[in-house]
Structure 1
Amino acid sequence: MAHYNSRSNTSLRSRGSFGANVPPPQPDIYYVGVDVGTGSARACIIDTNGIILALSERPITRHELKANYITQSLTEIWLAICFCVKNCIRELEIDPLEIFGIGFDATCSLVVLDEKDDAPIGVGPDFSDNKENIILWMDHRAVDETNAINSTGDKCLKYVGGQMSIEMELPKMMWLKRHLPGGIERCKFYDLADFLTHKATGLEARSYCSTVCKQGFVPIGVDGSTTGWSKEFLEGLDLPELVEDQFRRLGGVPGKNGVFLSAGEIVGKLNSQAAEELGLTVECIVGSGVIDAYAGWIGTVAGKVDIPHLQEMAEKSNSSIGTTCGRLAAVAGTSTCHIAMTKEPCFVKGVWGPYKDVMAPDYWMAEGGQSITGQLLAHVLGTHPANSELTSLAETSNVSKFDYLNLTLENLVHENRERSVVSLAKYMFFYGDFHGNRSPVADPNMRASIIGQSMDNTVNALAILYFGACEFIAQQTRQIVEEMEESGHKISCIFMSGGQCRNGLLMRLLADCTGLPVVIPRYIDAAVVFGSAILGAVAAQESVEEHITKKGRTKRSDSLSKSASNLAGLSLPSQGSLINPGSRDGTHSPYTAPSATSSTTNMATFAYGGHSSTANVPSLTPMAEENADYFSQQAQKPSHSSSAFADTDDEDDEGTLSFGSKQKVQQDLSHLLLKLGLKPLTNIRSETTHPGDKLWKTMEKMTGPGKVIMPSNKEDPDRKLLNAKYSIFLKQCKEQQEFRKLVDLVEVENARVIGMS
């Protein structure tokens, strides 16, 4: 250990001036976060102040052999995870014994294994391919099963927004019962995040996050629940296999044959096989995992921002987990999830939940969502006739397509003598539920409707259509927020994460449509995997405290780091195929590629108020420069009565909000912390009175400062126009359903007449 102690102390002290304002990182103490998204697996390593020191990513594939049948391979995902973790360790050159905890998050996808030996079982449509043993969350095969479940009216449905979504896992299990050759008698089922903790430890603990949110589990004591699972409900669905031996295929019954945990609670230590494959040790502690969107909540809602009412709420809650109530996390990627915590249950039609114990015991979570957001923007561009021309122009200008479209819109404002970009698109009425509606309508049959298109197929017309898609995302977010507030939530702020944060146009629209401050986190692309690393830190807290108290003289010191030697022989692709946190021109993953992140370097410069040095970028006209605020994420300087974020210099924005070099990140954070006047971060060993406070204290300590976009004044002409268009948006939503009912009535009558003839 002497060699690593010397190296770690040196490297930690040389990482810029960040340590001048916060407690110095504890040498030789690190945590790993693992995130499995729709299109990639990622891993990161953080230190005790929550600074990401290494980040690695590898794409994962998904297969759609038949429309709406979307599968993935567990084998491929685990190999990708092991690759990313080992690559992070290799990059930092740290001893695996220095990694105390690991946390996992993943998409809410269904994993199917053989009970006898954990062998993967193929989930179709090609049942002979056992490697494809994950039904992805966005798989929509189980239409009939979803309808059958919702027709029962079982009490568990009121805890998932009134009806179960086709994206959830019980409909998929029911579909397998009906179609898997031989049925499901040899199967056991996991949410993907729960499988990862099972794979890592060999233990059968399940998370409340996975089971309550996606599988119909109702925690004991809620609405008379005595086992969590409902025997009558499952048997009524012809799923007696799931009831056998006290629901063993689903993880059992809490306190009897099953263990169920809230976020970050200790699952156990890595088993020897997982430790070797991950390049870690059997002393590394695994925290209970969460669905990926919930890791985004963990990684963002403790962001430090100068918004007085948030600070007042924190003081009233005495820095407990209750501090997070009212903070809505919008976790954006292919789709967007909207997650909020409450002390008491709030039932919101079309919004999943309320879910008890998911993040912390005795607290409730609600989850709204948009089925496609990043994918929507990609679809709008990819299907337009001018997309090829746009691609060529953007490449020539060395900017992303979204940058180019934003600048095009600004120039169109000048050319058409319009007041702003909002008035430029005042007659574009875009309703974008191309892939059904998750919230608050909860109707998988919803589809898009666009009013205002002409035969113009130029890039200019594409820019207007793209604006309409952005406006739709913002207006639907307002619809979700309003439904939540009408049912008891008190939403005070939106904490964003994901590549969409770089799109200044979209962020400004979100603030103006909802009327709420929008907070951009320190780690735009890494908020979710950062949240997973926090889970590892929470689980390892006691182990770390023992290590510090005994000055490292614990049994960890005597453990053999067998897997360290494996790193030297690890075969890695060329660095160009990996995300390099020290470089801002790394390759982006399929997970974030659709969500306005295709050009890190230039998008960061554009979105954060910087200036591009590329001569080919279309320049703003004088009037466009006046309207450029609608495309800037630059924080507003507060007046005496304003609750906006403290003024920041342009040169600081890029390092604090993008994943730049370690030194750059820390120098800029130090600068911001000084200007914010924030007190030094508290030690996570603070006394806590509630089990959830352990999670909150760690979040509070490790989450850095964010940046705020304040909504425009209510009397601003653009906000008035957006408000008027919101009423049109609601009509488009409601009338589509009415139109379908009219057609269905006619078709039912037609079928009756044909049947009689």
Structure 2
Amino acid sequence: MAPHGKSFTSLSSRKSSIFFNQQPPLPDVYYVGVDVGTGSARACLIDTNGIILGLSERPITRHELKPNYITQSSTEIWNAIGFCVRNCIKESGVDPSEVFGIGFDATCSLVVMRESTDEPVGVGPDFSDNKENIILWMDHRAPEETDIINATNDKCLKYVGGQMSIEMELPKMKWLKHNLPGGIRDCKFYDLADFLTHKATRSEARSYCSTVCKQGFVPFGVDGSTTGWSDEFLKKVDLEELVEDNFRRLGGIPNKNGKYLSAGDVVGKLSEKAAEDLGLTTECLVGSGVIDAYAGWIGTAAAKCDSPLFEAGNDTGISSACGRLAAVAGTSTCHIAMTKEPCFVQGVWGPYKDVLAPGYWLAEGGQSCTGALLAHVLAIHPAYSRLVHEAEASNISKFDYLNSLLENMVIDTKSRSVVSLAKHIFFYGDFHGNRSPIADPSMRASIIGQSMDSSLNDLVIQYFGACEFIAQQTRQIVEEMIKGGHDLKYIYMSGGQCRNGLLMRLLADCTGLPVIIPRYIDAAVVFGSAILGAVASEDVVQDHIANRGRSRRSSNLTSHKSSVNVGGGDGSHSPYTAPSATISSTNMNALAYAANNAGSHSDFGQVDYFNQPVAEHPHEEKSDNEESEEEETLSFGSKHKVQQGLSQSLNKMGIKPLSTLDSKKKSNEPVDHGDKLWRLMERMTGPGKIIVPSSKDHPDRKLLDAKYKVFLDQCHKQQEYRKAVDQVEAQNLKNVKAH
């Protein structure tokens, strides 16, 4: 095995590989992915092997002029996207004419545009500000509207987990009807991802992902649906304006006056204006977008691992994805799984049909706060400032420092293990309500076993309790999904939490499922969006490859030349708006193919709750003077150095990667859209690192099983206690009124 931190493939061996000596060389082909999160826009550039060559990020603002009224600007978001796309292309050195496809994902926020002019409409509370035309997903201005919609018990609610969430878009449209000056007669509505494809192409196409998951659209054939939208339901909730002209404000009826697409279906080519804004060409194809968490599924669920516990199964095509649970973690965590048949699970959104692939169903569970929970637990403890000081003095992250303290405490207290160290802390952490599987926003935290200790050691135990809670609640969600018909075999993680070895080990041991960490930790979502661009342009790319790049591709080069300047008018950055000041940008040419062919498997021996086994790779002979640099799971962001020596070496050598598409396989490949998506996911995703759960009879597994029973009791008892108290108080109020 190569030394830790070194690559399995040396520069000299890479130079002599087929990658650098293809005869004749294949033309270069690239794709762009765009991800719009709650606080920033990101763009990445990948090649046909899924190697990220450029990554750029820029913050976006949100406004809360009034509590629970949270808005954003689609104009600001589009400008930020343009900045990021142009910047990552510039940093990577790729010719814009070689970018064949682009994909978008975004938060499930509501964008409102004026139908007559296609200009933004202010959504309040300051209706005079038309720039603020997005009601953010976390906006909670419409509780009464949500209750009215859910009181209908319409059949469409059956397919959004039994009831619409206040975070979904129909309640917000209803609120706008009664509060927007002039009403919604001149309004049309988009989910943010659909707005971005509209902005890119001028097409009014909608995605099944957005409309089915967040707006109450029921695909044809589901429960007798023949139009997708229900006029009876919309009229019942006083939204008859949305019914007019075959639901045109929502996107229309499929195959009549509307176009609805699954993930990566072709929306169209970039318009001239969009090509100019993005620094691309008008030949670049746009794939149908998805909600951000679903892009995380696309960016992770096809990873393979070299482990006896990893089985590809007998299924082919996208059916192979069934049984793989993608956990897309950030401030909160979304749990997404695919099935061939609809599975109804209490407290889990869905089942959603056609949102990623025609004929397949998706379910979406979630934890309302995970990353936010860990941050909260640390921030409120009296020893937090000491933790920050000591972690900074040690030059490591707070979580790495906490994990090392736990390890030392095991030795100091002569405890059996880390899990045993915290055996009397029973931490139930629903500080912000429960999304799944209880679906009760009134749930709150309860912690048994606290003392008056305010030391750093106590903070460490509270931190462990929060990690254990996240893992135990994931087990609860997994068990409910399995009861509902899901056959879950693996958990595919993404997000910064993947770096926390303690948390990943707890997830594996609590759920009993292998946890797979992707090659790209922080960039999994934007990487998934780039795959959408690859899906949309696959047929054009195959023709281009078959002709060895001789196919004619007209390009808007004038637009590109006028738009590459991402700073001042002369192309230079202001020192206050340069990439290092306002965004993170990374030239990933340095990492090209360093880990593309790496497999991974896990050690079945000692359980390490802090440093999970590094992926091992086949032994490779090398000379004494040949350096070997191991590229493990890659992560991106302004705080992570990802170029280092390899970047400089490759740049000095003038090495430029070539694509490895094989057009000869084209005739044998399936043409089904879902299988096309899966084929590209498998080719591009790369290997994952697997964390294998310890055996069922391991002492820690037994202890976690015992504590899981306490966890469930804390969960259900809280509801019982609340109900009992509410009944008494209701009678008290009744008695007061009677007197």
TM category (shorter chain) comes to: 0.7 to 0.9
Q: Determine the structure 2 residue equivalent to 1:451.
A: 448
Q: Distance in 2 between matches of 1:665 and 1:711?
A: 36
CA contact (8 A) 1:280 1:564 kept: no
More relative contact order, 1 or 2 (CA 8 Å, 6+ apart) = 2
Q: How many residues align?
A: 685
1:329 pairs with 2:326: yes
The SS at the match of 1:46 is strand
1:754 pairs with 2:736: yes
Match of 2:524 among 520, 524, 527: 527
Q: Distance in 2 between matches of 1:647 and 1:482?
A: 39
Matched ranges for 1:533-544 at <5 A? 533-544=530-541
Matched ranges for 1:232-247 at <5 A? 232-247=232-247
The SS at the match of 2:216 is coil
State the shift of 1:755 in Å: 2.7
1:496 pairs with 2:521: no
Measured at CA, do residues 627 and 559 of structure 1 come closer, stay the same or move farther in structure 2, by a change above 3 Å? closer
Q: Determine the structure 2 residue equivalent to 1:661.
A: 643
Measured at CA, do residues 582 and 384 of structure 1 come closer, stay the same or move farther in structure 2, by a change above 3 Å? farther
State the shift of 1:692 in Å: 0.8
Q: Distance in 2 between matches of 1:248 and 1:701?
A: 38
Q: Distance in 1 between matches of 2:17 and 2:451?
A: 57
Residues 553-590 of structure 1: per-residue CA shift (max 9 Å, x gap) = 43415654532342145454334233243599xxxxxx
Q: Distance in 2 between matches of 1:21 and 1:519?
A: 28
CA contact (8 A) 1:324 1:341 kept: yes
Measured at CA, do residues 226 and 628 of structure 1 come closer, stay the same or move farther in structure 2, by a change above 3 Å? closer
Measured at CA, do residues 421 and 563 of structure 1 come closer, stay the same or move farther in structure 2, by a change above 3 Å? same
Q: Distance in 2 between matches of 1:19 and 1:502?
A: 32
CA contact (8 A) 2:517 2:633 kept: no
Q: Determine the structure 2 residue equivalent to 1:84.
A: 84
Measured at CA, do residues 653 and 80 of structure 1 come closer, stay the same or move farther in structure 2, by a change above 3 Å? same
Match of 1:700 among 667, 672, 682: 682
Q: Determine the structure 2 residue equivalent to 1:579.
A: 584
CA contact (8 A) 1:635 1:648 kept: no
CA contact (8 A) 2:48 2:661 kept: no
Q: Determine the structure 2 residue equivalent to 1:387.
A: 384
Matched ranges for 1:335-734 at <5 A? 335-557=332-554, 560-568=557-565, 569-570=570-571, 572=573, 573-577=577-581, 578-581=583-586, 629-635=608-614, 654-659=631-636, 660-661=642-643, 685=666, 686-734=668-716
CA contact (8 A) 1:636 1:709 kept: no
CA contact (8 A) 2:272 2:556 kept: no
CA contact (8 A) 2:494 2:518 kept: yes
Q: Distance in 2 between matches of 1:716 and 1:543?
A: 53
Q: Distance in 2 between matches of 1:445 and 1:434?
A: 9
Measured at CA, do residues 464 and 682 of structure 1 come closer, stay the same or move farther in structure 2, by a change above 3 Å? farther
CA contact (8 A) 1:350 1:440 kept: yes
Matched ranges for 1:302-313 at <5 A? 302-308=302-308, 310-313=310-313
Residues 644-693 of structure 1: per-residue CA shift (max 9 Å, x gap) = x989999866544335339959999xxxxxxxxxxx99767352052211
Deviates more, 1:424-433 or 1:567-576: 567-576
Residues 616-655 of structure 1: per-residue CA shift (max 9 Å, x gap) = xxxxxxxxxx998101122588xxxxxxx98999986654
CA contact (8 A) 1:504 1:633 kept: yes
Matched ranges for 1:727-746 at <5 A? 727-746=709-728
Q: Determine the structure 2 residue equivalent to 1:144.
A: 144
The SS at the match of 2:326 is strand
Deviates more, 1:412-421 or 1:498-507: 412-421
CA contact (8 A) 1:17 1:667 kept: no
Is there any run of 5+ residues in structure 1 with no aligned partner, and where?
1-12, 585-607, 610-625, 638-644, 669-679
Q: Distance in 2 between matches of 1:208 and 1:164?
A: 17
Q: Distance in 1 between matches of 2:612 and 2:389?
A: 26
Q: Distance in 2 between matches of 1:648 and 1:406?
A: 33
Q: Distance in 2 between matches of 1:558 and 1:67?
A: 47
CA contact (8 A) 1:681 1:701 kept: no
CA contact (8 A) 1:682 1:701 kept: no
Measured at CA, do residues 722 and 372 of structure 1 come closer, stay the same or move farther in structure 2, by a change above 3 Å? same
Q: Distance in 2 between matches of 1:85 and 1:248?
A: 31
Q: Distance in 2 between matches of 1:703 and 1:18?
A: 24
Q: Distance in 2 between matches of 1:543 and 1:154?
A: 43
CA contact (8 A) 1:96 1:561 kept: no
> What is the TM-score of this pair, normalised by structure 2?
0.87
Q: Determine the structure 2 residue equivalent to 1:97.
A: 97
State the shift of 1:492 in Å: 0.3
Q: Distance in 2 between matches of 1:495 and 1:230?
A: 36
Matched ranges for 1:54-133 at <5 A? 54-133=54-133
- What amino acid sits opposite 1:220 in the alignment? F
Q: Distance in 2 between matches of 1:443 and 1:484?
A: 17
Measured at CA, do residues 285 and 107 of structure 1 come closer, stay the same or move farther in structure 2, by a change above 3 Å? same
Q: Distance in 1 between matches of 2:238 and 2:460?
A: 51
Q: Distance in 2 between matches of 1:653 and 1:370?
A: 34
The SS at the match of 2:586 is coil
State the shift of 1:310 in Å: 4.5
Q: Distance in 2 between matches of 1:293 and 1:18?
A: 40
State the shift of 1:16 in Å: 4.6
CA contact (8 A) 2:545 2:661 kept: no
The SS at the match of 1:581 is strand
Measured at CA, do residues 750 and 181 of structure 1 come closer, stay the same or move farther in structure 2, by a change above 3 Å? farther
Q: Distance in 1 between matches of 2:477 and 2:17?
A: 41
State the shift of 1:20 in Å: 4.2
Measured at CA, do residues 18 and 228 of structure 1 come closer, stay the same or move farther in structure 2, by a change above 3 Å? farther
The SS at the match of 1:296 is helix
CA contact (8 A) 2:41 2:57 kept: yes
Q: Determine the structure 2 residue equivalent to 1:604.
A: none
State the shift of 1:103 in Å: 0.2
Q: Determine the structure 2 residue equivalent to 1:214.
A: 214
Measured at CA, do residues 340 and 681 of structure 1 come closer, stay the same or move farther in structure 2, by a change above 3 Å? farther
CA contact (8 A) 2:312 2:320 kept: no
- What amino acid sits opposite 1:717 in the alignment? P
Q: Distance in 2 between matches of 1:665 and 1:432?
A: 43
CA contact (8 A) 2:296 2:525 kept: yes
Deviates more, 1:158-167 or 1:691-700: 158-167
Q: Distance in 1 between matches of 2:620 and 2:500?
A: 19
Deviates more, 1:67-76 or 1:363-372: 67-76
CA contact (8 A) 2:27 2:549 kept: no
Measured at CA, do residues 646 and 504 of structure 1 come closer, stay the same or move farther in structure 2, by a change above 3 Å? farther
Q: Distance in 1 between matches of 2:142 and 2:327?
A: 27
Q: Distance in 2 between matches of 1:385 and 1:651?
A: 45
CA contact (8 A) 1:547 1:554 kept: yes
CA contact (8 A) 1:431 1:472 kept: yes
Residues 33-72 of structure 1: per-residue CA shift (max 9 Å, x gap) = 0001121111000011110000001112222333332222
CA contact (8 A) 1:95 1:564 kept: no
Q: Distance in 2 between matches of 1:461 and 1:18?
A: 55
- What amino acid sits opposite 1:204 in the alignment? E
State the shift of 1:224 in Å: 0.3
Q: Determine the structure 2 residue equivalent to 1:181.
A: 181
Measured at CA, do residues 19 and 83 of structure 1 come closer, stay the same or move farther in structure 2, by a change above 3 Å? farther
Aligned residues: percent identity? 68
> What is the TM-score of this pair, normalised by structure 1?
0.85
Measured at CA, do residues 240 and 150 of structure 1 come closer, stay the same or move farther in structure 2, by a change above 3 Å? same
